[in-house]
């Protein structure tokens, strides 16, 4: 077989996002002298911690070809459960464990509906978005719980001593590290990509597709619960309407990070770079005097670019390969004529 | 074919039955529920979601989704109030709303149809962009009652044969869209696209053009729904329409417009919206704390998806075993 000499497109979207992150940090620090201050960086990191934690799990889920729109509601349900349990006299530590358990169960509920009953995850999680949020209102009614233990709230609002990293950074780094390793360096990770690329072929090649998907929904529920704990501590309050609309921010970040909505494609560091860039841009825009509206337009624009650009590079690649094929046949034709 | 068999093939039947059961059941427990005013509240309250659900049906039957409608309807409700308070005539203002909606829809449709981008991502992006532009244009202003065109105000307050004009609009729109969806070739193409996108292309359906047209229609109707929203609330702010998209998709799904594409009707979508609204009212009438409303809605959507799944697999099996029937 003759070797094709089509130049490969070296650019990949996730590398672009990392570059974009570096660029936005530079522009941010150029735009405002306050950007690179410890307090601002600490604020930026704290403001994206919850989204980062959920995005880690969401990346797995979208790569496997599913989606979960109920994550923000699970986050709020965890927060509400913690608040309710604590209000009823349960020690805070145990309330947190209960909250995590609630998130796990919520994820299991989604997973069972999708994998065992075979319902479409988009529709199911729109339903559980309402259901879980509804349960928040049921258990807390319209009375947020604000009297949480001081030392726990400090954990949610103070930095690791001597640094500008909030305590939540540890969780983000830890989970991101594990998630990165599992996704890119283990059999399970390869399975997730395989399932997202072709679920039927995956099943025939012996991958327990439904069990993996069920596991991913439970994982997403758990991570949303972890985000719920962080959220509760950061705002020192458990309220039924907390984090509304976060699901779209998470999904936007994951897709911007180079995960294909059709499944089968994505990297963990692309996603993390995307979450960070969105946090950096938000802060940069605010410091440069832009309104929050600019951020909405920018996130939407980035999201669009993240799907359009791969399409364009694909188009260019196809045109190039077409052109080179034509060139080769022309050359062959010429040689034939010369003979 | 027996009537019974034909009835089970009628996909809107479960949601219609559900509606009857909820209505009669609640009325049985609390006779006040049968009063005309409750009925009016249901029709009045459901108008916006029902209008948007009709529009959304076009894209969902194609196995696509349009999440940008909440932002569009909010923006146009604001624009209608803002422009008419600056002295533009109602017709001009409505045309502007239509144009804005159709433009956003056409952008969605172009990106989805011609560039082949996933509709979920594209419309999520336009949801953000339109909301951002809306906030910037709105500058935190609020449209108050005095800025609402008098005609819209009148529509919101008056009734035709005891039924709110807003719901009359919904019914007229439903009839027009319903007949079009049943009878015209272009609309039948949408079902074909939703059933099997690649096969639709192979049999010669201009898929790209149809996707563009359907998204544009969805956008245009959603734009006009801004007028319904303004008539309903008599006010508009930058918070208007926030999160409405999921409620609209929920209404469609409850009404048997399958998210997997290829099935469903605008009649189903409207019935789904009415059912959700009726349950909302029933919760109040039964003395259940309002806090249960969302949780009940969520459970209902799950039940609807499950039922839809059950029915569609059963229907398919009767089709295959068609000879025995």
Selecting from B111, B242, B305 the residue whose C-beta is nearest the C-beta of A119 gives B305
CA distance B258 to chain A (A): 9
Q: Is the pLDDT of residue B37 over 90?
A: no
Q: Is the pLDDT of residue B8 over 60?
A: no
Which residues of chain A are within 8 Å of residue B293 when distances are taken between CB atoms?
134, 137
Look at residue A2 in the predicted model and tell me its pLDDT: 52
| Residue B39's pLDDT band (cuts 50, 70, 90) | confident
- Over chain B, what is the mean pLDDT? 83
Q: What is the pTM of this model?
A: 0.82
Contact B294 A255 (CB under 8 A): no
Contact B129 A296 (CB under 8 A): yes
Print pLDDT tens along chain A (339 aa): 455 555 554 567 778 888 888 888 888 888 777 777 888 888 888 889 999 999 999 999 999 999 998 999 999 999 999 999 999 989 999 999 999 999 999 999 999 999 998 888 888 888 898 899 999 999 988 888 888 888 888 887 888 887 778 888 889 999 999 999 999 999 999 999 999 999 999 999 999 999 999 999 999 999 999 999 999 999 888 888 888 778 888 988 898 888 888 888 899 989 999 999 888 888 888 887 777 777 778 878 887 887 787 777 777 878 888 888 888 888 888 888 887
| Residue B219's pLDDT band (cuts 50, 70, 90) | very high
Nearest alpha-carbon partner for A170 in A181, A156, A182, A186 = A156
Selecting from A127, A306, A311 the residue whose C-beta is nearest the C-beta of B298 gives A127
Contact A137 B291 (CB under 8 A): yes
- B11-315 topology per CATH: ABC transporter involved in vitamin B12 uptake, BtuC (1.10.3470)
| Residue B57's pLDDT band (cuts 50, 70, 90) | very high
Which residues of chain B are within 8 Å of residue A131 when distances are taken between CB atoms?
294-295, 297-299, 301-302
- Asked if residue A78 lies in contact with residue A102, where contact means CB atoms within 8 angstroms, the answer is yes
Look at residue B321 in the predicted model and tell me its pLDDT: 37
Look at residue B9 in the predicted model and tell me its pLDDT: 61
Look at residue A275 in the predicted model and tell me its pLDDT: 92
B299 touches chain A (CB under 8 A): yes
DSSP state of A7: P
B283-296 pLDDT tens trace: 888 888 878 878 88
Cα gap A7→A12, rounded to integer Å = 14
- In DSSP notation, B240-291 reads TTTTHHHHHHHHHHHTT--TTSS---HHHHHHHHHHHHHHHHHHHHTT--GG
Look at residue A103 in the predicted model and tell me its pLDDT: 96
Q: Is the pLDDT of residue B322 over 50?
A: no
Where is average pLDDT lowest: A279-288, B236-245, B274-283? B236-245
CA distance A255 to chain B (A): 8
Look at residue A68 in the predicted model and tell me its pLDDT: 93
Look at residue B314 in the predicted model and tell me its pLDDT: 57
Residue where the block lists tokens 């395989």: A194
B137 touches chain A (CB under 8 A): no
Where is average pLDDT lowest: A315-319, B25-29, B64-68? A315-319
Name which residue leads in pLDDT, B245 or A206: A206
CA distance B297 to chain A (A): 7
Please state, as a whole number, how many other Cβ atoms lie within 10 Å of the Cβ of residue B162: 9
Look at residue B5 in the predicted model and tell me its pLDDT: 60
Selecting from B115, B133, B253 the residue whose C-beta is nearest the C-beta of A123 gives B253
Contact A296 B243 (CB under 8 A): no
Contact A135 B259 (CB under 8 A): no
Q: Is the pLDDT of residue B188 over 80?
A: yes
Interacting residues of B78 by C-beta distance below 8 A, sequence separation 6+: B134, B137, B138, B143, B226, B236, B237, B238, B240
Residue where the block lists tokens 């930026």: A44
Helices B266-285 and B165-183: crossing angle, nearest 10°?
150
Give the DSSP H or E segment for B236. Answer: strand B236-237
Q: Is the pLDDT of residue B102 over 90?
A: yes
Selecting from A134, A261, A301 the residue whose C-beta is nearest the C-beta of B292 gives A134
Contact B127 A300 (CB under 8 A): yes
Percent of chain B with pLDDT over 90: 22
Domains and CATH numbers, chain A: 40-314 (1.10.3470)
Nearest alpha-carbon partner for B220 in B116, B98, B76 = B98
User: Which residues in chain A (148-207) have CB-CB distances under 8 A to chain B?
Assistant: none
Chain A residue nearest residue B289, CA to CA: A138
Selecting from A126, A252, A262 the residue whose C-beta is nearest the C-beta of B250 gives A126
User: Which residues in chain A (103-132) have CB-CB distances under 8 A to chain B?
Assistant: 113, 117-120, 122-124, 126-132
Contact B121 A303 (CB under 8 A): yes
**For B136-165, what is the mean pLDDT?**
77
Q: Suggest the residue from A300, A301, A316 to mutate for an interface test with chain B (most B CBs closer than 10 A).
A: A300
Q: Where are the domains of chain B?
A: 11-315
Look at residue B183 in the predicted model and tell me its pLDDT: 86
Look at residue B313 in the predicted model and tell me its pLDDT: 65
Look at residue A37 in the predicted model and tell me its pLDDT: 81
Look at residue B6 in the predicted model and tell me its pLDDT: 59
Residues in chain B: 325
A138 touches chain B (CB under 8 A): yes
Contact B305 A255 (CB under 8 A): no
B316 touches chain A (CB under 8 A): no
B260 touches chain A (CB under 8 A): yes
Q: Is the pLDDT of residue B186 over 90?
A: no
């Amino acid at each position: 077989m003759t070797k094709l000499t089509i130049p490969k497109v070296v650019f990949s979207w996730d590398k672009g996002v990392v570059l974009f992150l570096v660029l936005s940090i530079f522009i941010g620090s150029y735009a405002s002298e306050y950007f690179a201050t410890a307090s601002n960086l600490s604020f930026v990191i704290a403001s994206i911690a919850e989204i980062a934690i959920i995005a880690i799990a969401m990346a797995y889920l979208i790569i496997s070809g599913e989606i979960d729109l109920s994550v923000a509601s699970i986050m709020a349900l965890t927060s509400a459960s913690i608040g309710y349990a604590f209000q009823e006299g349960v020690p805070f530590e145990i309330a947190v464990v209960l909250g995590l358990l609630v998130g796990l169960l919520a994820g299991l509920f989604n997973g069972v509906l999708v994998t065992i009953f075979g319902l479409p995850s988009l529709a199911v999680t729109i339903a559980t978005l309402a259901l879980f949020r509804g349960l928040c209102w049921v258990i807390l009614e319209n009375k947020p719980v604000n009297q949480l233990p001081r030392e726990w709230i400090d954990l949610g609002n103070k930095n690791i001593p001597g640094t500008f990293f909030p305590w939540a950074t540890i969780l983000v780094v830890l989970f991101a590290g594990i998630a990165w390793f599992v996704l890119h360096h283990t059999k399970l990770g390869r399975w997730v990509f395989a399932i997202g690329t072709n679920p039927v072929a995956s099943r025939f090649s012996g991958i327990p597709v439904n069990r993996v998907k069920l596991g991913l929904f439970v994982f997403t529920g758990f991570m949303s619960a972890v985000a719920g704990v962080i959220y509760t501590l950061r705002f020192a309050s458990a309220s039924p309407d907390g984090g509304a609309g976060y699901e779209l921010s998470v999904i936007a970040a994951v897709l911007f990070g180079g995960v294909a909505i059709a499944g089968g494609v994505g990297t963990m560091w692309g996603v993390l770079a995307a979450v960070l860039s969105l946090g950096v841009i938000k802060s940069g825009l605010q410091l440069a005097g832009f309104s929050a509206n600019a951020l909405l337009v920018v996130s939407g624009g980035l999201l669009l670019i993240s799907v359009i650009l791969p399409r364009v590079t694909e188009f260019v690649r196809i045109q190039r390969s077409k052109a080179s094929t034509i060139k080769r046949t022309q050359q062959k034709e010429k040689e034939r004529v010369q003979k | 074919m027996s009537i019974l068999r034909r009835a089970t093939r009628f996909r809107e039947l479960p949601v219609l039955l559900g509606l009857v059961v909820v209505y009669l059941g609640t009325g049985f427990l609390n006779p006040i529920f049968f009063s005309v005013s409750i009925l009016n509240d249901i029709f009045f309250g459901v108008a916006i979601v029902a209008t948007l659900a009709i529009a959304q049906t076009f894209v969902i039957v194609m196995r696509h989704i349009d999440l940008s409608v909440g932002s569009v309807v909010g923006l146009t409700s604001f624009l209608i109030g803002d422009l008419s308070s600056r002295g533009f005539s109602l017709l001009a203002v409505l045309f502007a709303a239509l144009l804005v909606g159709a433009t956003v829809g056409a952008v969605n449709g172009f990106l989805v149809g011609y560039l082949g981008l996933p509709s979920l991502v594209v419309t999520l992006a336009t949801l953000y962009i339109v909301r951002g532009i809306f906030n910037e244009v709105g500058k935190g202003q609020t449209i108050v009652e005095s800025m609402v065109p008098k005609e819209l105000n009148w529509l919101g307050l008056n009734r035709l044969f005891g039924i709110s004009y807003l719901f009359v609009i919904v019914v007229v729109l439903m009839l027009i869209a319903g007949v079009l969806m049943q009878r015209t070739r272009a609309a039948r193409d949408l079902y074909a696209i939703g059933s099997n996108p690649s096969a639709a292309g192979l049999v010669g359906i201009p898929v790209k053009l149809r996707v563009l047209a359907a998204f544009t229609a969805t956008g245009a109707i959603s734009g006009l729904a801004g007028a319904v929203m303004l008539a309903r609330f008599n006010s508009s702010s930058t918070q208007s329409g926030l999160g409405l998209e999921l409620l609209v998709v929920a209404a469609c799904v409850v009404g048997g417009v399958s998210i997997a594409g290829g099935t469903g009707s605008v009649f189903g979508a409207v019935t789904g919206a009415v059912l959700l609204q009726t349950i909302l009212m029933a919760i109040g009438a039964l003395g259940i704390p309002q806090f249960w409303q969302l949780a009940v809605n969520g459970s209902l959507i799950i039940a609807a998806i499950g039922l839809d799944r059950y029915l569609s697999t059963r229907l398919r099996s009767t089709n295959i075993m068609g000879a025995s029937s």
